[in-house]
Homo-oligomer: A and B are copies of this chain.
């Protein structure tokens, strides 16, 4: 069957520069809010998604993963690495890119950078969970671990939860100084702390975001106060945790996708029947979030493919709104879709004609 005119099979393309331009033009607060809305919409229709385990390829220096997911309209995957030694070679520890495709045809519709977007979507997911789980009057957040994602977390909680003060601690003073510098004009009051204990003092919310791949105890029961919300972001793969078992036992624990968090999250330390609630159940009012002021809540976040799906569709909408229309030529345009050979035949003719 021949089509009367060639179709446009170009793939929209959001480069790093375009992603930065989107954040700049629309504002970080707007992007975080928009991404949080996209996440909420998608988490609320959780059962509609075909959820697959991520596929990991481990090597001596790190891991490379593919994270696919689909609903009945769109398919997405993220390519993401984790190489702790990368910064010594001038490369980010985590780099990512992603693809959005049409389920009915398999046609890729968007290829996007996802390194910046992952930081945005992780912070937005944390904020979304905290909106349901933290005390509504929360004003002070401790931020333990001041690496690549720290500023994004701080600003998401500032813009979306009204956090006014961020208390910073990292074992590396340069990392703390970097965050202090980057948040200088943000409207947030920043406090440079010399220990986790000092940072956590008086905090309504504690975000743990440390990088070491170890069974660490960043936060133990002695530092946890009634009413705290703990946003545990750094413990996100087997062998990497940040909270003590005691903290988990005292808290109500919320997760993205239970099956995955049992393996990758703080939950890996706990018995297989340790009770948790999936966030989407709270967002759809099928389960309670915070039920009283003194409750300790933990969002045991590991990052799930759904969040990248939401991020990709949000960024695509932003790019369209701003008229960013860079495209890639990844899929052949054929007058007769059964005649793939025409690609090189036509090309030969075209070239020999010049």
List residues of A whose CB falls within 8 A of some B CB: 1, 3, 6-7, 9, 13, 15-17, 20-21, 23-24, 28, 50, 52, 55, 57, 59, 61-64, 66, 68, 70, 72, 75, 77, 79, 81-83, 86-93, 95, 97, 99, 101, 103-108, 111, 113, 115-116, 119, 147-152, 175, 178, 182, 328-334, 336-345, 347-348, 351
Contact = CB atoms under 8 A, between A and B. Distances in A.
Nearest to A152: B341
Contact of A338 (B87, B103, B347): B87
A9 to B, nearest CB: 7
B107 A91 contact: yes
The 8 closest A-B pairs by CB, nearest first: A81-B106, A3-B90, A148-B340, A151-B341, A15-B329, A20-B347, A87-B337, A7-B90
A81 B106 CA distance: 5
A81 B64 contact: no
A206 B146 CA distance: 63
A116 B59 contact: no
A105 B88 contact: no
Given A55-B66, A57-B70, A342 B87 contact: no
Contacts of A343: 16, 20, 116
Contact of A332 (B79, B81, B92): B92
Contacts of A151: 341
B20 A344 contact: yes
A176 to B, nearest CB: 12
A93 B338 CA distance: 8
Contact of A70 (B64, B77, B113, B182): B64
A82 to B, nearest CB: 7
B77 A337 contact: no
A62 to B, nearest CB: 6
A91 to B, nearest CB: 5
28 contacts: A15-B328, A16-B329, A16-B332, A17-B329, A20-B343, A20-B347, A21-B347, A23-B344, A24-B348, A24-B351, A57-B68, A64-B75, A66-B68, A81-B107, A82-B106, A86-B106, A92-B331, A92-B334, A97-B330, A111-B111, A113-B331, A115-B331, A147-B338, A148-B340, A149-B340, A178-B339, A182-B342, A328-B328
Nearest to A58: B50
Contact of A91 (B88, B105, B152, B175): B105
A269 B101 CA distance: 33
